[in-house]
């Protein structure tokens, strides 16, 4: 008589542990879903903007000269 009662109690305890483990597993992935957002970009100082514009202008002139030299100058 004691064996079936003990067996039922142990099965219930096993069920509770399984349930607890399942709940714990469902909580863990949500802890790792943190998204890191990069900081806002710093504005480019005026001197850097001028330097970039000058470099782009030189590159454009170089490309135009290359196209003119190769005879494939296309109307822009």
Instruction: Output the tens digit of pLDDT for each of the chain's 76 residues.
Output: 788 899 999 999 999 999 999 888 877 665 566 778 888 888 889 999 999 999 999 999 999 999 888 876 555 4
In angstroms, the CA 64 to CA 9 distance is: 87
pLDDT at 72: 62
72: helix, coil or strand? coil
- Under 8 Å between Cβ of 67 and 74: yes
pLDDT at 64: 92
pLDDT at 18: 94
Q: What is the dihedral of CA 41, 42, 48, 49, to 10 degrees?
A: 60
pLDDT at 2: 82
């Amino acid at each position: 008589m004691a064996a079936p009662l003990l067996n039922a109690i142990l099965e219930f305890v096993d069920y509770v542990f399984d349930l607890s483990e399942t709940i714990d597993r469902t909580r863990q992935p949500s802890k790792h879903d943190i998204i890191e957002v990069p900081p806002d970009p710093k504005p480019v100082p005026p001197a850097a903007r001028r330097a970039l514009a000058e470099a782009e202008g030189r590159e454009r002139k170089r490309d135009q000269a290359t196209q003119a030299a190769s005879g494939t100058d296309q109307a822009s």
